[in-house]
Amino acid sequence: MTKTKAHSLFTEFDINLFKAGKHYRLYEKFGSHLITVDGVEGTYFAVWAPSAKSVSVIGDFNFWLEGEHHLNVRWDGSGIWEGFIPNIGKGTVYKYKIRSTNNDITTEKADPFARRCEHPPKTASEVWEDDYAWNDKKWMKNRKKNNALDAPFSVYEVHLGSWKKQVEEGRFLSYHELAEELVNYVSEMNFTHVEFMPIMEFPYDPSWGYQLTGYFAPTSRFGYPDEFKYLVDKFHEKGIGVLLDWVPSHFPSDDHGLGFFDGSHLYEHPDRRKGYHQDWKSLIFNYGRNEIKAFLISNAIFWLDQYHADGLRVDAVASMLFLDYSREEGEWEPNEFGGRENLDAINFIKEMNAAVYESFPDVQTIAEESTSFPKVSKPIYDGGLGFGMKWMMGWMHDTLDYFAKEPIYRKHHQNELTFSLNYAFTENFMLPLSHDEVVYGKKALVDKMPGDEWQKFANLRMLYSLMYTHPGTKLLFQGAEFGQTSEWDFDGSLDWHLLDYGVHKGAQNLVKDLNKLYKKEPALHEKQFSHEGFEWIDHGDHENSVMSYIRKGENEKDNIIVILNLTPVPRENYRIGLPKKGTLTPVFNSDDTKYNGTGNFKSKKLTSEKKVWNNREHSIELNLPPLGMIAYKYK
């Protein structure tokens, strides 16, 4: 039995920050690091295991024998075990074997800070270091403008394993292959950002990546860490931001993961009412423990620092905020004030957002939060949680419910479409049509629509047209852009062959042009989070199921007039009021033949009349296509 050489990357200041929960770059200290000690190359290991009585590094290099390389516990009560093992380097496979003071329980754990993990189903960690040379200096210098709240922000949500498969070999595309195919596709489609469903290492494919075991390691399914950096780099080269799904809400109980790490409830809350998620059969972090806060905030910072991510979409925030989330009476305990809010989790979220924006003021954090919890996307100094944006789940549910209705009944439900404007500016909302809406029997988006094939796709085009002219940023899940007709299959590939058919190619062309319009027209993004950016012309024409509104930019000359006909009945000589006299020039028509529309209602320049309508002195008469949106701006 040998003791590893005494060596440490920790200073006393590091330890004090760690204990206080304020060390936000723990990845520079914990884990495995290639270093040289007294002229000898090797690897330094450090792991937090305060309930351990011994910790060994085991791996191929010592035939997985526990007694060969013991780590040393620090003297300062931090619970950190560390040591230097000479003559092992990059690619070394290892785990920690931990003997606990708790009934002599023994665990074998992957390194919580590992930079690379074995390809699942293998579960060990790998010593890893790369010297990737970034080429995105231009993007990083300018990304504050691209990520700003008054900038166009349209997101293509991607599950890397199922976007496209290498058909002949029946395998995933690699990070390098995706850097060619996916990057070019997202650029061609005019999206401003891409969002990856979790790419951190996870053991179980059907979890879609939301049950993480390797928080600091991009999954090895698609290649190596430096190859993932190359993928991010290539997106930046095309002027496209990269958002990462981040999961601080729960983690799986796999034997090699964080659960019961050192024979104690180290990472998870010891009270099962706060430490176990019944829906997902997973464990919940102990947000009240300083070291756990430091671990999670360091993880958020890591992906922004080491992988140049441009933002984090934070998963399942609602489950963190409320002690009674998905729990029956008696299954939860109120907080110290008798409320249902998880005060520790709320404090953690605020600290995380504050730390992220302090170090990276040019990124965005985005909350997937489904409740009416106040001020999710408001500054912390204003009593908010500090996120940059929040998913607008209410808009998504109401809108999809409306579009599922037969057009003949829509006149009774127009308020489902207009209601979102009553609260649209209470948060910085992102409009999501995400993966969650096309699984588990919910059907593909186009299959939610009523009518024959033409009407289904016309409804889909209308849905997207409404989405892109409604205040807020946008998110669309892979396959939705061309009207994928089957539910999403995480184990399959998108049905790219559908683009051989006009209805699907038309939908794709529409999304491409809507992204272009959103980027080009200031009125669609400059005031997307302000009531000053939106004005109704008429939301009350229920009988005809027609809505009209104005989107406004900083300059009045940029304002856009939007009219939607939500039934398959064309509306000829339809009149709307205008904010002023002038000539209107068409900027978009969802009924165009290139979108597989009828092409029978071509947009043309129109001159206003001095005729009172919708309580406005000037108005215009126009022909509205069936299930179509047309948009104009003043010449």
Task: Just list the catalytic residues.
Answer: 315, 368
Q: Nearest CA to 396 among 457, 477, 335, 305? A: 477
* Residue recorded with tokens 């990059």: 90
Other Cβ atoms within 10 Å of 289 Cβ, number: 19
Q: Are strands 241-246 and 560-565 parallel, antiparallel or unpaired?
A: unpaired
Q: Where are the alpha helices (DSSP H) in 521-562?
A: none
Environment class of 473 (CB within 10 Å of its CB; exposed 0-12, middle 13-18, buried 19+): buried
For 77-109, what is the HEC assignment? CCCEEEEEEECCCCCCEEEEEEEECCCCCEEEE
Peptide bond into 121 cis (omega under 30): yes
Q: From CA 557, how far away is CA 467, in angstroms rounded? A: 22
Q: From CA 259, how far away is CA 256, in angstroms rounded? A: 8
Using the CB atoms, write b or e for 341-357: b if 16+ within 10 Å.
ebebbbebbbbbbebbb
The answer to whether 489 touches 162, Cβ cutoff 8 Å, is yes
Q: From CA 399, how far away is CA 575, in angstroms rounded? A: 25
Q: Where are the alpha helices (DSSP H) in 331-414?
A: 343-359, 393-403
Render 394-451 in DSSP notation, one character per residue.
Answer: HHHHHHHHHHTS-GGGGGG-THHHHGGGGTTTTTTEEEEE-GGGGSTTS--TGGGS-S
Q: Nearest CA to 589 among 535, 509, 499, 528? A: 509
561 beta partners: 550, 632
Tokens representing 618? Answer: 């000037």
Using the CB atoms, write b or e for 187-215: b if 16+ within 10 Å.
bebbbbbbbbbbbbbbbeeebbbbbbbbb
Q: Nearest CA to 548 among 635, 469, 472? A: 469
Reduced to 3 states (helix: H, G, I; strand: E, B; else coil), residue 115 is coil
CA atoms within 13 A on the CB side of 443: 9
Q: From CA 563, how far away is CA 549, in angstroms rounded? A: 7
Q: From CA 451, how far away is CA 405, in angstroms rounded? A: 10
242 beta partners: 194
> What Å distances lie between residue 618 and 166, 224, 301, 604, 609, CA to CA?
58, 62, 54, 18, 6
